[in-house]
Chains A and B, each alone.
Chain A
Amino acid sequence: MSRANSRQMKLGAFLMAGGHHIGAWRHPDAVAEAGVDIDHFIGLAQMAEAAKLDMIFVEDAAAIRERNVNIASQAARSTGFEPLSLLAALAVNTSHIGLVATASTTYNDPYGLARTFASIDQLSGGRAGWNLVTSASELEAENFVSSGLRPHAQRYERAEEFAAAATAVWDSVDAGAYVVDGNVYVDPGKLHPVDHRGTHFTAAGLLDSPRSQQGRPVMVQAGASDAGKNLAARTADVVFTAAQTLEEGQEYYADLKARMPSFDREPDDLKILPGVSPIVGRTESEARAKYDALQELIPDEVGVALLASYLSVKDLSQYPLEGPLPEMPQTDGIQSRQQLIIDMGRRENLSIRQLARHFAGARGHWQLIGTPAQIADELEERFYAKAADGFNIMGALFPAGLEDFIILVIPELRRRGLFREEYEGRTLRENLGTRIPARGA
């Protein structure tokens, strides 16, 4: 029975060519060449749209992800589509689903990036979203600047200014500015040229496309540091996060939403979607068997290297695999995920090897292994306990992992009135229920 007026979950499909499980590409059901097959991605987006999911999401780094070529060559993470061209291709092959991709404020310029997202927003009729990141990896820094990875604080300072400049670009053209009636091409009263001169950028001129059908592209963020959470509280419509336990999720949720009033925003203007990797079986043992089959596919050195990269340490292989994680120094990498890993190891008393194998399933995101009812119970609990406004579903492998969730779990969520039967609208903002921003707001 559906409770039409009650709050419902927002669900995203976090796509990844090789699957979220590090060994998934080796699974017999995985499409090994997914990273170069546009029709594979079109198929996934259409599948997610048929299930009425809010959005698909593709992450990004402007570099390969592993310096050690022997390790890199054993995973599917080194190459793939550039996300904005991928979104553009998906935009004209779908009609309702939101299309979200990562782009860095550290290695782009605000005018060019705002313009590119505006273009995707036009192509999709108002369904684009930008996951704003500041890029924490050294391998990315080495593709752009000679001085190495910039410090965390400096990256966020630049990100704040970038977001303001990009917003000004989107706001430079009002709805209805293009008259095109034979006499008047544009109404100059509806144009507001940008003249941004800041510390990091100067941006001038007008957006070269009409105003988005959703006002502006949806802003997504995944900040977990203080600076990151403040940027999210001020600018984001959607926030992604990784939380292992209910308590971690609640703490993050309460913290982020509590920051919003000081930026004149209502807590409901921002949807928090933790990542979750569900491994679904019709029975518990079927689910467990699926998980075990995936765990078979992780070479130890690949798992340990992945863990090391998220801890931002060069090498873990010098420590005994069966021993605990050593003390870790703080770095300029992703501090929150470092902490999550350290906590996970301590809480469950895991050796490096066990921790690495656990982490290899979803890179620190929540993993759920069970029947549709068990998984729905867990999601429902976190949803009502104010740890989540919905979830970013991370298929362990594709298409099977996403398909299982859609076929088995979505109907269960619908039965409980937790997920929509039909899209509310055509734009991403309409479906998320976030406001269409006024110009300059």
Chain B
Amino acid sequence: MHIGISITPFGHHPAAWRENGSPDTMDFKHLAAQVKKAEDGALDFAFFADRLGRRPIDDLSPQAVPFEPTTLVAALATVARKIGLIATAATSQHEPYNLARRFASLDTISKGRAGWNLVISPETVAREEEYIDVVSGLWDSWEDDAFVYDKASGRFFVPGKMHVLNHAGAHFKVRGPLNVNRSPQGKPLISQLLTGDTLDIAARSAELIFIGARSPDEARALVADITQRLGRHARMRSDVRILANVVPYIAGTAGEAREIRDRLDALPAAGEKPAGLEVFGSPIGTADRLQDWSETFGIDGFMILPPLVTESTHAFIDGVIPELSKRGMFRNAYMGSTLREHLGLRRPPHPASRSAGASR
């Protein structure tokens, strides 16, 4: 299965900061240590949400990360050199050219480990689709072998391998080409948190889909719905990875694990609890539950939302991951080097090479 982790300074429980918080907890080193821990467990990726995509911007929430996510991921990419890194960015926050550039650059800095977690406005579907098409088109500005760096002849790139987008649509007019090379993964990976009103955009464009369900029934229904919609966009189930959000409370026994949750619940908190399936158990019990869900929901794995940092993160990486590995359900070590390779997703071919292949 595939497992990622959503990183926050204190943990996803809205009262976590009351137990373990200090201003130092918010700094880069503390976040980087969590990412390194996840990398020790050979997780597929670390994920960074961004509240600005959706929330009022004067909400200084302890559940948010106090860095702009794309710059945070750029920094992390140089200190954690194997794990995938996904940053959230809303289409309302960036011009498409700037966003395409930022993520292509992140993919280059991370040598192929970057993902864009897409946040869109469901009210403007046509604009969102056009936006994603522009970004994706800009990512195809250069063919993989465009840059030849031929010092003797003085040719830095092959002119025919640069593609000017010349997009002129209802919402955007963008000439291109992008001023970043085609990135190591071909294109940065696109992920999306599934919500009821954005299912079709996810079915059309996302390669990694997060299910933020609070009950197993809700999770099953969302997976069934999205799987069915993929067909309408000529995509196969194997073209995407679907992960369910899980909030793991881990202790010696399920009862003790519940006590952690009850203790946190008893503290005053302003924010909402994270959207994910709660699980209470020992490391073995937690592994049992994840195994069961992965076999019965039709999903490919999980995104872990540790309720309390660093306790929950360490308990998961040190306890649950080895148990899953022992069962042959999770890797022991990284096999590939890019985020797509971690997820077992194919590298998208450049359209020019695709058509050349077809005509051969």
Ranked nearest first, the 10 interchain pairs of A and B with the lowest CB-CB distance are A205-B57, A82-B105, A32-B149, A119-B68, A88-B74, A88-B71, A142-B175, A85-B74, A146-B173, A205-B58
Q: Which residues of A contact B149 (CB under 8 A)?
A: 25, 32-33
Q: Which residues of A contact B68 (CB under 8 A)?
A: 115-116, 118-119, 208-209
User: How many A residues are at the interface, by size bracket?
Assistant: 35 or more
Q: Which positions 15-65 of chain A face chain B at CB distance < 8 Å? A: 18, 23, 25-28, 30, 32-33, 35-36, 38, 42, 61-65
Q: Which positions 60-96 of chain B face chain A at CB distance < 8 Å? A: 60, 62, 64, 66-68, 70-72, 74-75, 77-79, 93-95
Query: Which of A175-183, A219-227, A237-245 sits within the interface?
Result: A175-183
Q: Which residues of B contact A85 (CB under 8 A)?
A: 70-71, 74, 102, 105-106, 109
Query: Which of B17-25, B230-238, B348-356 sits within the interface?
Result: B17-25
Which among A70, A205, A208, A297 has the greatest number of chain B C-beta atoms within 10 A? A208
A174 → B minimal CB distance (Å): 13
Is the beta-carbon distance between B21 and A204 smaller than 8 angstroms? Answer: no
Q: Which positions 164-192 of chain A face chain B at CB distance < 8 Å? A: 178-183, 185-186, 191
Known A-B contacts A28-B151, A85-B70, A122-B66; the reply to A204 vs B109 at CB < 8 A is: no
Contacts from A to B (Cβ < 8 Å) = 18, 23, 25-28, 30, 32-33, 35-36, 38, 42, 61-65, 69-70, 72-76, 78-82, 84-89, 91-93, 107-109, 111-112, 115-116, 118-120, 122-123, 139, 142-146, 178-183, 185-186, 191, 193, 204-206, 208-210, 297, 299, 302
Closest chain A residue to B176 by CB distance? A143
CA A87 to CA B101, docked complex, whole Å: 14
Is the beta-carbon distance between A35 and B181 smaller than 8 angstroms? Answer: yes
Is the beta-carbon distance between A143 and B71 smaller than 8 angstroms? Answer: no
Known A-B contacts A25-B151, A32-B149; the reply to A64 vs B17 at CB < 8 A is: no
CA A183 to CA B17, docked complex, whole Å: 9
Total count of chain B residues near the partner, CB < 8 A: 65
Is the beta-carbon distance between A70 and B98 smaller than 8 angstroms? Answer: no
* 17 A-B pairs whose Cβ atoms sit less than 8 Å apart in the complex: A32-B151, A36-B181, A62-B98, A73-B156, A81-B105, A81-B108, A82-B101, A84-B74, A85-B106, A89-B78, A92-B78, A181-B21, A183-B18, A186-B60, A205-B57, A208-B60, A210-B23
**B319 contacts the other chain (CB 8 A):** no
Known A-B contacts A73-B162, A74-B154, A82-B105; the reply to A210 vs B66 at CB < 8 A is: yes
**B142 contacts the other chain (CB 8 A):** yes
**B158 contacts the other chain (CB 8 A):** yes
**B122 contacts the other chain (CB 8 A):** no
Q: Which residues of A contact B196 (CB under 8 A)?
A: none
The residue that B156 contacts in the complex, of A76, A108, A206, with Cβ under 8 A, is: A76
Q: Which residues of B contact A145 (CB under 8 A)?
A: 173
Closest chain A residue to B101 by CB distance? A82
Closest chain A residue to B58 by CB distance? A205
Q: Which residues of B contact A108 (CB under 8 A)?
A: 95, 98
* Majority secondary structure, A binding face: loop
B114 → A minimal CB distance (Å): 9
Is the beta-carbon distance between A107 and B98 smaller than 8 angstroms? Answer: yes
Is the beta-carbon distance between A36 and B77 smaller than 8 angstroms? Answer: no
A191 → B minimal CB distance (Å): 7
Is the beta-carbon distance between A25 and B75 smaller than 8 angstroms? Answer: no
Is the beta-carbon distance between A89 and B174 smaller than 8 angstroms? Answer: no
Q: Which residues of A contact B93 (CB under 8 A)?
A: 109, 112
CA A129 to CA B60, docked complex, whole Å: 25
Closest chain A residue to B50 by CB distance? A208
Given A92-B32, A182-B19, 20 more pairs with CB closer than 8 A: A25-B156, A38-B78, A73-B155, A78-B177, A79-B179, A85-B102, A92-B78, A93-B78, A115-B52, A115-B68, A119-B72, A120-B71, A123-B71, A123-B75, A139-B175, A146-B173, A180-B21, A185-B21, A185-B62, A186-B60
Is the beta-carbon distance between A74 and B155 smaller than 8 angstroms? Answer: yes
A241 → B minimal CB distance (Å): 25
Closest chain B residue to A83 by CB distance? B105
A337 → B minimal CB distance (Å): 21
The 8 A CB mask of B30-60 against A (1 = contact, 0 = none) is 0010000000000000000001100011101
Q: Which positions 166-212 of chain B face chain A at CB distance < 8 Å? A: 168, 173-181
Is the beta-carbon distance between A208 and B64 smaller than 8 angstroms? Answer: yes
Q: Which residues of B contact A72 (CB under 8 A)?
A: 157, 159, 162
A364 → B minimal CB distance (Å): 22
CA A191 to CA B22, docked complex, whole Å: 18
**B104 contacts the other chain (CB 8 A):** yes
CA A261 to CA B173, docked complex, whole Å: 43
